[in-house]
Amino acid sequence: MAHIDVHTDAVDRETIVTETSVKTTGAARTSTAEREAAGSVLVTQQGSTSIADTVVAKVAGIATREIAGVYALGGGTARAVGAFRERIPGGRTNQSQGVGVEVGEREAAIDIRLVAEYGVSIPDLAASIRRNVISSIERMTGLNVTEVNIEVQDVHLPTDDDETNDDTPPRVQ
């Protein structure tokens, strides 16, 4: 079953035919033009654009690191592996460390694991991270961010840095 709407465009004087197909359940199918009108800029009449999970994770990681109060991303093991990787000649910082993503055709969900600086309001930090991650991903990829889940795994104390830089002689030579 199909509904056909015919009208003439007054400016261009051409006849426009719009057809909406209807399934037997009564639900309307969405055409490419209707998806574009609904806000998906990734699927157009000229083709579709897919965004890899790694791209979304990298954007989310960079956006999270931009927020004051974030000491590091990832758990202890991920940070240790990341620190080792950075020491290797030619090694680079893994921008998506501590970030998990699920990317669909039009939407993305983000999970972030981090270490916060001591003294920072964690609810305010989480709100700032969510705001920055959502705006960065939506602006750069066109994906709608459905959720940003944040897990604060540790709090970094200023004394944590002092313990690793003490000048005590080694016990074994």
- Contacts for 142 with CB less than 8 Å, ≥ 6 apart: 40, 41, 42, 49, 51
Let me know whether 57 and 42 are in one domain: no
Let me know whether 117 and 152 are in one domain: yes
Let me know whether 35 and 63 are in one domain: no
Number of domains forming the structure of the chain: 2
Q: Is residue 131 part of a domain?
A: yes
Let me know whether 78 and 39 are in one domain: no
The residue type at 125 = L
∠116-121-123 over CA atoms, to 5°?
95
Q: Is residue 169 part of a domain?
A: no
The reported pTM is 0.64
Let me know whether 72 and 42 are in one domain: no
Counting every residue, how long is the chain? Answer: 173
CB 84 within 8 A of CB 93: no
Q: What is the pLDDT along the chain (173 residues), one digit of tens a residue?
A: 444 444 444 444 444 444 433 333 333 333 334 434 445 678 888 998 889 999 999 999 999 999 999 999 987 655 555 554 555 666 666 778 899 999 998 999 999 999 999 999 999 999 999 999 999 999 999 999 999 999 999 999 988 765 555 566 777 76
